[in-house]
Structures are given as structure tokens and as C-alpha cells.
Amino acid sequence: MAKRVVILGGGIGGTTVANRIRKALEGEVATGQVQLALIDREGIHAYQPGYLMVVFDKMRPEEVRREEARLLHRSIQLIKGEVEKIDSPANKILLKGGTEVAYDILVVASGSVIHPELIPGFIEGAHSFYDLENAQKLRTALHGFTGGKIVVSVAGMPYKCPVAPLEVTFLLDDYLRTQGIRDKTEIHYTYPIPKVFGIDTVAQPMQRLMSERGIQIHVPFNVDKIDPAGKTIKGVEGDVLPYDLLIAIPPHRGADFVGASGLGDKGNWIPTDRYLLRAEGKQNIFVLGDATNIPISKAGSTADYEAETVTQNVAALARGEAPTSRYEGRVYCWILTGLAQATYIKFDYLHPPHPPTPSFAHYWNKVIYNRTYWDLTARALF
């Protein structure tokens, strides 16, 4: 009887790991010994790092979405459906509507979900760029902006792409200069801890850049509520900042079905072995990307590197071997520091990042990656 490997989620992690598992088990899949299926709610794949590019007219909306079926190898079954629950003792998934999908090995790549409603006033009072619709709204708002106070604020943790608040701040600064209204605009940056980023090797150079560009810093600032009528944002520390345009990062949580399945912590993140990427206490469930509780970047790069390990471990288990491949915490993320310059952070569990001086070359590498993502990462052709 064929072994059935099921992947939940058609984002960066789910799509690339499905295609990589297919390659790693090419013979078994071709002879029918292994069957592969991917479950996705919409069947549309979004390149989420592109949303910020859409805000600043660096990518068009249609460039950040593709049909999932066009990205998956033809031997991978695409099931469109919304997961209600994983019944892990019975090795099956229940979809809304009642369909059941059985598995022998499960890969959870269900990502994170934004919850702006958790902050009072967020939906009415703040712009964000964490989905395509809101990214387009923010782009429109910027086109109509003629000067005033802009506040960039992290309103909840954890959040996807930890460097994104830095990036949107630097891009704003550069954009306003090109529009000739930087001198009519104050940019305020808030962050929940007493510096502009989590560790010194990144925070110090980023803070220097902000100071050079006249960006005002408010730390620590943990968002309490937003007053859309009065156009203010209040921190639990007591500070109140007025704004004309607010760009905020919404709180994130894991997928609801993770909680309903009894597999998650309080935020619906799945406790996961940080090396084997296996769900704690589950022999045949692997997890990658935002869905894990591992305390590193929730970012596409993380999912991409983790996919290497999950692929090897799924292939080993499918062949009746012990999974031994280890994820060592590798991540590589660009940080856009302007409309045509960038730096990057590269690190693993043992080695912290040291971002180089921002340059056009690093920016150009990011642009190339944006264009080659669909083949390089999603289809895993190389």
C-alpha cells in the first residue's frame, strides 16, 4: 500500500517542501509507492515579501500571486479545502465540509495569520502591508500624502519578517525625498523593546541610519490602543503619538486549526524540535516556516532553509529510516534600506548576523531573487 505524505499549506514553505520531497522520493513517487498531496485553502500562492514592493510600486500586484497548481509538480495532488482539525491519533485531517484526508506522514506549513482586531482601533485607524489588499490601500494613501506625521509601529508579537518595520521606515524616508516632501514630514518609529531591533549587531547600524535620516525613535513602545478619530496611538508605557498616517504591524497567531487539534501553544504555534523540525511528541508530523514555535525569524528564508531538513527527514521516514537531518538555524534575509539600496543578515543558531554596509549590489540581488523566486524556491528547480 502506498505511503501517503500530506502537506498543509501552499505558501513558501509548503510549496517548496512539496516539490523537494517529490524530487527526493522521485522513484517511489513514480512507481506509486509514495503519494503526495498538498492542501491549500484557495489554491493561490502569494509571494508575501512582494507586498512591501507593491506599496512602493516596485512590483505589481499580479506579480506576487500565482496559481498553486502551476507551481506544484504534476505528480503532487492539490486539494483545495480549509482544514478544520488534525486528528493525529487517527492520522487523518478533517476539512471543513466533512472531507477526510488520511496521511502516513504530515508536514504542517500553515504559516501565520494576522489579527489586527486584537488591537483596539487598528482596523479603522492603521494601514498595514501584511496582505495584498492592505498593501494596495497603503500605496494609494502614500500617493495622496502631502506631508505631516507618519508613525511606523509594531503592534504585536510575534510578527512575520522581523526586519519589515525597519524596511518600510527606510523606504518611506527615501520615497518622501523623491516626492520632495520629506522636509514636510516627520517619521516616527516605535519598537517594543529599548532599541530599534532585537540584537545589538543589527540594532546599532540601523539606529545610526535612522539618526542620519532624521527618523525619530520611540522605544520601548508597546501598543495599547489606537484612536482612529483622534488620530493617536497610545503605548502601554503611557506615551501618546499623534499621526496623520499610521503604518502598523498587526499581531500574528498560528492557524486556528492548530489550536483546535490540540497541537499548539497559546498563540497556536506548534512546539517543534528546533533541529529535527518534528512536532514535539509526534513521530510522523514535521513543521516548518511560521507555524513552528522556534524563536527565530518568521520569514520565507527560514521556511526555505527548513525545507531542506524536512525534505530529508520525510524521505527517510517514508523509506523506513530514522530522520536524522538537522536544521542549524540558518536564515538569510535582505534588509532594504532605501528604494535602491539594501544590506542583509545571515545567521544560524551559533552565529549572530553582522549586516554589511548597505549598497546597490545587495539591493540588486534582492531584485533578482524576487524575479527568480518562482523557479528557484517555489518550484525548487535548482
Partner 1 sequence: MTGSDGPPTTPTAPPTRMVVDARGSWCPGPLMELVRVIKEEPVGTEFELLSSDEGSRKDIPIWLNKAGHQLVELRPDSGFDRFIVRKTHE
Contact residues for partner 1 (CB under 8 A)? 157-158, 162-163, 192-195, 197-202, 220, 222, 237, 266-267, 274, 295-297, 329, 331, 333, 345, 347-350, 352-353
Q: How far is the CB of 237 from partner 1 (least distance, A)?
A: 7
Q: How far is the CB of 352 from partner 1 (least distance, A)?
A: 5
DSSP 206: H
Residue closer to partner 1 by CB (options 239, 244) is 239
SS (H, E, C) 282-307: CCCEEECHHHECCCCCCCHHHHHHHH
Residue closer to partner 1 by CB (options 347, 363) is 347
Q: Reduced to 3 states, what is the DSSP secondary structure of residue 45?
A: strand
Angle between helices 200-212 and 164-178 (to 10 degrees): 20
Helices assigned H by DSSP within 213-289: 256-260
Task: Look at residues 336, 330, 338, 339 and name the one whose alpha carbon lies nearest to residue 366.
Answer: 336
The answer for 286, left when phi > 0, alpha when psi is -120 to 50, beta otherwise, is beta
Residue closer to partner 1 by CB (options 272, 284) is 272
User: 41 phi and psi, to 5 degrees?
Assistant: -65, -45
Q: How far is the CB of 296 from partner 1 (least distance, A)?
A: 6
CA 273 to chain centre: 20
Residue closer to partner 1 by CB (options 323, 329) is 329
CB 78 within 8 A of CB 38: yes
Q: How far is the CB of 201 from partner 1 (least distance, A)?
A: 8
Q: How far is the CB of 93 from partner 1 (least distance, A)?
A: 27
Residue closer to partner 1 by CB (options 237, 375) is 237
Residue closer to partner 1 by CB (options 153, 222) is 222
Grid cell of 24 as nine digits = 527526493
Residue closer to partner 1 by CB (options 228, 267) is 267
Q: How far is the CB of 235 from partner 1 (least distance, A)?
A: 11
**Furthest CA-CA distance within the chain:** 69
Q: How far is the CB of 236 from partner 1 (least distance, A)?
A: 8
Q: How many CB atoms lie within 10 A of CB 74?
A: 7
Residue closer to partner 1 by CB (options 101, 233) is 233
Q: How far is the CB of 194 from partner 1 (least distance, A)?
A: 5
Residue closer to partner 1 by CB (options 1, 350) is 350
Please tell me the distance from the alpha carbon of residue 322 to that of residue 221, in angstroms, as a whole number. Answer: 46
Task: Spell out the residues 6+ positions from residue 61 whose beta carbon is closer than 8 angstroms to its own.
Answer: 54, 132, 136
Q: How far is the CB of 222 from partner 1 (least distance, A)?
A: 7
Q: How far is the CB of 176 from partner 1 (least distance, A)?
A: 26
CB 61 within 8 A of CB 74: no
Please tell me the distance from the alpha carbon of residue 195 to that of residue 88, in angstroms, as a whole number. Answer: 42
Residue closer to partner 1 by CB (options 202, 315) is 202
Task: Look at residues 293, 373, 381, 346 and name the one whose alpha carbon lies nearest to residue 49.
Answer: 373
Task: Look at residues 70, 99, 214, 212 and name the one whose alpha carbon lies nearest to residue 149.
Answer: 214
User: 248 phi and psi, to 5 degrees?
Assistant: -125, 150
DSSP 136-174: HHHHHHHHT--SEEEEEEE-SSS-SSTTHHHHHHHHHHH
